Amino acid sequence: MSEPVQSYLDELFDRLAGTGAAGRRALVEAEDHLASAVARHRAAGHGDEEAQRMAVAEFGDPARFAEGIARAHDGLGSLLRPLFTGAWLLAGIGLVAVGVSGLVAELFGHLGGAHFVAGDLPGVTYTPQRCADYFEYFPNAASCAEAAELHHWGEVVDNRVAAGVLGLLALGVYALVRRVGPLTGARWRPAGGPFALVTVTLFGLAAVLLTVPDALRWAMHDSSGVGANLSGGIVAALVSAGVGLVALRRRARQHARTQR
Amino acid sequence: MRGHLDLVLLATLQQVGPAHGYALIVALREASGGAFELAEGTIYPALHKLEREGLVASAWSSDAARRRRVYELTAAGAASLAQKRSEWTRLVDAVAAVLASARHGLATNRGWGWSAA
């Protein structure tokens, strides 16, 4: 058998990894089915490659086939395992994104000043005691408000970067348990399509909610604290777009493989 | 088709007797006049599930040039098919009755419309 069917079976083999005897049996059944379908199309007058392409197209999505086989033999576990690893991965990516937004907030602070990242809304005042605390940290500040902004800017950056470090740790442990154990194999692989859809949607929503209100406020010449949410919104938009692009490219590669 | 694949597979197995997956698809296509838009691979997870439920049994066939898994209906599968078929017939009859009633109502309403005009 030449390319389209062979490529399809190769992908099926990868996707059925971890399903044991059920997967081996399903792979043999798929190979037999495709061979029969190719023979029928060739008997109908189609060339070998075209017959293979038709057989593969009629057989359907390999991911859905593999998921169906896993679910038929594993019940609820086949749904919960990828859900668990998907949630773990999503949480890790989310925390790293928060960390990166902290670095962007640091940059914004240098470009636009602490007021841009950590400025209070109009009407916020501090007690003399709090002002004294802030001046203790920033004795060169020109006013209590400026000392507070410098203090809050540091908090925004430090807390977010700490979350990012936690996220990197979560992703590192994730990579370890997926490669070495105990969560190795295709059974624990997050479902690519749904994972991408959830990630793109969540980060896309976060981008809109974080960016639009503060961008409007900035457009009305009120820039106090705008950089805090804008930094988060920009990073969320980049994550959403990046995950979406990767998912689309992966989809296109799969499509190309079955067309070969 | 989704939700009724089990019923259709059990009925086809009863009709054709022991068969491998590709033969089932061919029989299904012929019996339905090609009406079902079904990714052919979807029958295998369904067959595996039916086997785990004890409604079909399978074994490797040794009389073919290739190894083939041949499925056949079990007694429990035949009983399940009879029950599902009865439920399906009741559903189809009920839907047909509703559609017939709606068609009758439409004709009557049109009659009123014309007489009012």
**What is the spatial distance between Cα A204 and Cα A241, in angstroms, rounded to a whole number?**
8
Whether the pLDDT of residue B57 is over 60: the answer is yes
What is the average pLDDT across A95-104?
A: 97
Q: Do B44 and A37 touch (CB under 8 A)?
A: no
Residue-averaged pLDDT of chain A: 90
B46 contacts chain A (CB < 8 A): yes
**What is the spatial distance between Cα B5 and Cα B13, in angstroms, rounded to a whole number?**
12
**% residues pLDDT > 90 (chain A):** 60
Whether the pLDDT of residue B55 is over 90: the answer is yes
What is the average pLDDT across A213-218?
A: 91
**What is the spatial distance between Cα A4 and Cα A49, in angstroms, rounded to a whole number?**
7
**What is the spatial distance between Cα A229 and Cα A215, in angstroms, rounded to a whole number?**
9
**% residues pLDDT > 90 (chain B):** 61
CB B12 within 8 A of CB B28: yes
Whether the pLDDT of residue A183 is over 80: the answer is yes
- Residue B110: per-residue pLDDT: 63
- Which one of A73-82, A97-106, B90-99 scores highest in mean pLDDT? A97-106
Q: Do A72 and B49 touch (CB under 8 A)?
A: yes
**What is the spatial distance between Cα A162 and Cα A159, in angstroms, rounded to a whole number?**
5
- Residue B117: per-residue pLDDT: 40
- Residue B44: per-residue pLDDT: 96
Max Cα distance, chain B (Å): 76
Q: Do B41 and A64 touch (CB under 8 A)?
A: yes
Name the band, by pLDDT with cuts 50, 70 and 90, for residue B116.
very low
- In 10 A of CB B21, how many CB atoms? 25
* pLDDT tens-digit readout, A59-79: 999 988 998 898 888 777 778
Least confident of A3-7, A74-78, A95-99, B62-66: B62-66
SS (H, E, C) chain A: CCHHHHHHHHHHHHHCCCCHHHHHHHHHHHHHHHHHHHHHHHHCCCCHHHHHHHHHHHHCCHHHHHHHHHHHHHCCHHHHHHHHHHHHHHHHHHHHHHHHHHHHHHHHHHHHCHHHHHCCCCCCCCCHHHHHHHHHHCCCCCCHHHHHHHHHHHHHHHHHHHHHHHHHHHHHHHHHHHHCCCCCCHHHCCCHHHHHHHHHHHHHHHHHHHHHHHHHHHHCCCCCCHHHHHHHHHHHHHHHHHHHHHHHHHHHHHHHHHHC
- Residue A241: per-residue pLDDT: 97
Q: Which of residues 193-252 of A touch B (CB under 8 A)?
A: none
The amino acid present at A252, given as its one-letter code, is A
Considering only CB atoms, which chain A residues are within 8 Å of B21?
A: 29, 32-33
Chain mean position to CA A228 = 22
- Residue B114: per-residue pLDDT: 52
Confidence (pTM):
0.62
How buried is residue B14: exposed, middle or buried, by Cβ count under 10 Å (0-12/13-18/19+)? middle
Whether the pLDDT of residue A193 is over 90: the answer is no
Comparing CB atoms, the residue among A31, A60, A72 nearest residue B40 is A60
ipTM tops the 0.90 cut = no
What is the average pLDDT across A19-37?
A: 92
What is the average pLDDT across A20-44?
A: 93
What is the average pLDDT across A127-134?
A: 90
Comparing CB atoms, the residue among B25, B45, B67 nearest residue A68 is B45
Nearest-CA residue of chain B relative to A24? B69
B21 contacts chain A (CB < 8 A): yes
Q: Do B40 and A37 touch (CB under 8 A)?
A: yes
**What is the spatial distance between Cα B48 and Cα A68, in angstroms, rounded to a whole number?**
9
Considering only CB atoms, which chain B residues are within 8 Å of A71?
A: 45, 49
